[in-house]
Amino acid sequence: MIPDKGTRHTRDAYAEALLELGEKDHRIVVMDADLAKSTQTERFKERFPERFIDCGVAEQNLMATAAGLAATGKIVFASSFAMFATGRAYDQVRNTIAYSCLNVKICASHGGITVGEDGSSHQALEDVALMRLIPGMKVVVPADYYEAREAVKTAAYVDGPFYIRLGRPKFPVLFDEGYRFQLGKALLLRPGKDVTILACGIMVYNSLVAADILAREGVEAEVLNVHTIKPLDEEAILASAAKTGRVVTCEDHSVLGGLGGAVAELLSEKLPVPLKRVGIQDRFGVSGGVEELMEHFGLTPEHVAEAARSLLRRSL
Amino acid sequence: METDTERGLKERLESICKGVRWDVVRMIGLAGSGHPGGSLSCVEILVCLYFYKMRHRPSDPQWPERDRFVLSKGHAAPTLYSVLARAGYFPREELWKLRRLGSMLQGHPDMKRTPGVDLSTGSLGQGLSAACGMALGLRIQRNPARVYALIGDGESQEGGIWEAAMLAGHHRLTNLVAFTDYNSLQIDGPCCEIVSLGDISAKWRSFGWEVYEVDGHDVLEICRTLDLADNASSPTMIIAHTVKGKGVSFMENSVEFHGKAPTREEMERALREIEES
């Protein structure tokens, strides 16, 4: 059973990490593109107005300006919604930030279908894939408040570009104050021998619930929190896949190019085992409530459990 | 009226310009690809910056108090490379390896590979934003260094240029000076026939910039205007009226030579023309 620790916003975690960073390091500069209330960078602005720059509704300018700031020695956190930070400003992120390995940390909120009612134009379902394609970019999708907070603090001192995807809704809390984030190290949350479930973001919680469902049916699922999509923890994933012989990936993102895509690439080259990718099946999003959308697009714990069952049936 | 000192300055700068033009034609000719037209049009601008205005140390390219330069129209890289080599950032022999595998001189500027390059550019419409970021960063640090940038007229069709224009005007970035290399031609033809820039000075002025228009091949006019910009109360835009392909008769005002290298024979002819000028 998963202990109930309530729910919290990963965006709040971002704001708190920024305040802590800004307090002790004068190189920290925070930028936004007219979404400071939503991304929560507003709290940094209130405390350190001289180190906060709002570019207005101009995400391309946000990213290229961030690159220039980083070129003068700043550690820049640049925020917008995941759709605009990665989609609209892709060229700026690729060519002006990442190509020169500049210290810009893109922390984007509102990733995934869980944006909800705003609908397709605001539901980034390919942001992780876009960022993962860029050489040298680190990509992290935190599962809860504490993981988000620690990932942000880690990003500040890992040289070069970094992408962190935050959510709109509150995520179930999984960890606690003492949580230690390790970039590039998948975290074993539940050991098992029958099937491996790899998850990131809000789907980590759903995977743990799915593992409970499966346990009641006599299936021992191993759950790994793959918070770092790049660099991917190949060793841990291959070891688990070798043990169970079946892998399910779970993400609030397109099954193309994100966690599922990365794992498919890895397994097909190094350890071809049956794989099922839970995520958005190459479709655009739609408006709706978060719970309704999770059901509609097949992201509930029951969907994850069913994906695992289908693999188990296949190998009987 | 020119003073004696100005006459000396003019001779010195024009002589460097002639050398840079020679380098540019030879670099692109030997590479077999590149952008001669827009490289030759901005020679005087870069020479005035690096040999008159900017405070920089070729022996210490990362000197924190150096003035920065961003070549937003990155395809004019050969001009920047020649200027940097002649200023002493790296040996001139490197110039002849332009665009070759393993060369420090990429097709477009690369800050990680080339000493003296302050920002990697190439995808148009981004360098001016980055220059704004630099100006903001230096201001936060109370660093007195200034930031110079060069954009193209064709490049001004990119929306990002105007996002940067608005941000710089809003923040009154007095430590930012940009040039527009107004050579009036782009790949597909004359700018005024593709998408006209309209009243470009009025546009920049309306975004809160101090605007000057100069003859982009008159080194003294460029230097005097750069001095005026030191005391601006807003960011400065210098519209430099230039001739694409300047200095090589058959490249001047030619759309064809935007992105086409001269043949070996054309290169030899162009080099002779420059030598005899």
Domain boundaries, chain B: 4-276
pLDDT at A316: 57
Residue A66: closest CA among chain B residues belongs to which residue? B133
Is A27 an interface residue toward B (CB < 8 Å)? no
Cβ–Cβ of B137/A91 closer than 8 Å?
A: no
Residues of B in contact with A68 (CB under 8 A): 70, 119, 129-137
Which residue among A16, A59, A126, A150 is the active-site one?
Answer: A59
Q: For testing the chain B interface, which of A28, A62, A65 should be mutated: the one with the most B CBs within 10 Å? A: A65
The complex's ipTM works out to: 0.94
Q: Yes or no: is domain A187-314 CATH 2.40.10.340?
A: no
pLDDT at A1: 76
Indicate the residue of B110, B125, B133 with minimum beta-carbon distance to A68: B133
Per-residue pLDDT for B1 more than 70? no
pLDDT per residue as tens digits for the range A206-241: 999 999 999 999 999 999 999 999 999 999 999 999
Residue B171: closest CA among chain A residues belongs to which residue? A53
pLDDT per residue as tens digits for the range A52-73: 999 999 999 999 999 999 999 9
Burial class for B171, CB neighbours closer than 10 Å (0-12, 13-18, 19+): middle
Which pLDDT band, with edges at 50, 70 and 90, does A203 fall under? very high
Which pLDDT band, with edges at 50, 70 and 90, does B71 fall under? very high
CA of A316: how far to CAs of A211, A309, A311, in Å?
A: 20, 11, 9
Question: Where do the domains of chain A lie?
Answer: 7-172, 187-314
- Domain spanning A7-172 has what CATH number? 3.40.50.970
pLDDT at A314: 86
Q: What is the mean pLDDT of chain A?
A: 97
What would the mean pLDDT of B109-136 be, rounded to a whole number? Answer: 98
Chain B, 109 to 168: residues with Cβ < 8 Å from chain A are 110-112, 118-123, 125-127, 129-138, 140-141, 143, 159-160, 163-164, 166-167
Cβ–Cβ of B160/A64 closer than 8 Å?
A: yes
pLDDT per residue as tens digits for the range A73-83: 999 999 999 99
Under CATH, which architecture does the B4-276 domain have? 3-Layer(aba) Sandwich (3.40)
- Which residue, among A147, A132, A165, A98, has the nearest Cα to A231 in the 3D structure? A132
Please report the number of interchain residue pairs, chain A to chain B, with beta-carbon separation below 8 angstroms: 107
Is B44 an interface residue toward A (CB < 8 Å)? no
Chain B, 78 to 97: residues with Cβ < 8 Å from chain A are none
Per-residue pLDDT for A315 more than 80? no
Q: What percent of chain B has pLDDT over 70?
A: 100
Which pLDDT band, with edges at 50, 70 and 90, does B125 fall under? very high
Indicate the residue of B112, B127, B132 with minimum beta-carbon distance to A101: B112
pLDDT per residue as tens digits for the range B245-260: 999 999 999 999 999 9
Q: A302 catalytic, yes or no?
A: no
What would the mean pLDDT of B189-209 be, rounded to a whole number? Answer: 96
Per-residue pLDDT for B20 more than 60? yes
Is A64 an interface residue toward B (CB < 8 Å)? yes
DSSP string, chain B: ---HHHHHHHHHHHHHHHHHHHHHHHHHHHHT-S-HHHHHTTHHHHHHIIIII----TT-TT-TTSPEEEESSGGGHHHHHHHHHHHTSS-GGGGGGTTSTT-SS-SS--TTTSTT--S---STT-HHHHHHHHHHHHHHTT----EEEEEETGGGGSHHHHHHHHHHHHTT-TTEEEEEEE--EETTEEHHHHS---SHHHHHHHTT-EEEEEETT-HHHHHHHHHHHTT-SS-EEEEEE--TTTTSTTTTT-SGGGS-PPPHHHHHHHHHHHHH-
Alpha-carbon distance B129 to nearest alpha carbon in chain A (angstroms):
5
Which pLDDT band, with edges at 50, 70 and 90, does A171 fall under? very high
Per-residue pLDDT for A16 more than 90? yes
What would the mean pLDDT of A262-289 be, rounded to a whole number? Answer: 98
Residues of B in contact with A95 (CB under 8 A): 120, 122-123, 126
Per-residue pLDDT for B2 more than 90? no
